[in-house]
Amino acid sequence: MSVLIYTEFSEGKFKKVALELASYAKKVAESLGTTVTAVTVNAGDVSELGKYGVDKVLKVTDSKLDKFNAKAYADVVKQAAQKEGAKVVILSSTTDSLYLAPIVAVGLDAGYASNVVALPVSTSPFQVKRNAFSSKGFNVTELTSDVKVIALAKNSFGLAEASGAAATEDFAVTLNDADFNIHIQSQEKASGQVSIADAEIVVSGGRGLKGPENWGMIEELASVLGAATACSKPVSDLDWRPHSEHVGQTGKPVASNLYIAVGISGAIQHIAGINASKVKVVINTDPEAPFFKVADYGVVGDAFQVVPELIKKLKEFKANNN
User: What is the rounded distance in angstroms from the CA atom of residue 289 to the CA atom of residue 264?
Assistant: 8
- Angle 76-80-84 (CA atoms, 0-180°, nearest 5)? 175
- Taking 90 as the threshold, does the pLDDT of residue 279 lie above it? yes
- Average pLDDT taken over every residue of the chain: 91
User: What is the rounded distance in angstroms from the CA atom of residue 28 to the CA atom of residue 44?
Assistant: 26
- Taking 60 as the threshold, does the pLDDT of residue 41 lie above it? yes
User: What is the rounded distance in angstroms from the CA atom of residue 39 to the CA atom of residue 34?
Assistant: 16
pLDDT at 191: 52
Question: Amino acid identity, residue 320?
Answer: N
pLDDT band for position 186 (cuts 50, 70, 90): low
User: What is the rounded distance in angstroms from the CA atom of residue 123 to the CA atom of residue 37?
Assistant: 19
* Burial of residue 314, with CB atoms counted within 10 A of its CB: 0-12 exposed, 13-18 middle, 19 or more buried: middle
User: What is the rounded distance in angstroms from the CA atom of residue 177 to the CA atom of residue 143?
Assistant: 32
- Taking 80 as the threshold, does the pLDDT of residue 193 lie above it? no
Tell me if 31 sits within 8 A of 14, measured CB to CB: no
For residue 139, is it left (φ>0), alpha (ψ between -120 and 50) or beta?
beta
User: What is the rounded distance in angstroms from the CA atom of residue 62 to the CA atom of residue 84?
Assistant: 20
| Per-residue pLDDT reduced to its tens digit, 229-255 | 999 999 999 999 998 899 988 888 888
pLDDT band for position 188 (cuts 50, 70, 90): low
pLDDT at 1: 75
pLDDT band for position 298 (cuts 50, 70, 90): very high
| Per-residue pLDDT reduced to its tens digit, 142-155 | 999 999 999 999 88
pLDDT at 180: 84
User: What is the rounded distance in angstroms from the CA atom of residue 114 to the CA atom of residue 102?
Assistant: 9
Q: Taking the C-alpha atoms of 230, 236, 240 and 241 in order, what is their torsion angle to the nearest 10 degrees?
A: 40
pLDDT band for position 189 (cuts 50, 70, 90): low
| Per-residue pLDDT reduced to its tens digit, 121-132 | 999 999 999 988
pLDDT at 19: 93
Residue 229's contacts (CB-CB under 8 Å, 6 or more residues apart) are: 202, 203, 204, 205, 215, 218, 219, 222, 241, 245
What is the mean predicted confidence (pLDDT) over 286-313? Answer: 95
From the list 238, 218, 239, the residue with the least C-alpha distance to 230 is: 218
What is the mean predicted confidence (pLDDT) over 300-320? Answer: 94
Tell me if 72 sits within 8 A of 180, measured CB to CB: yes
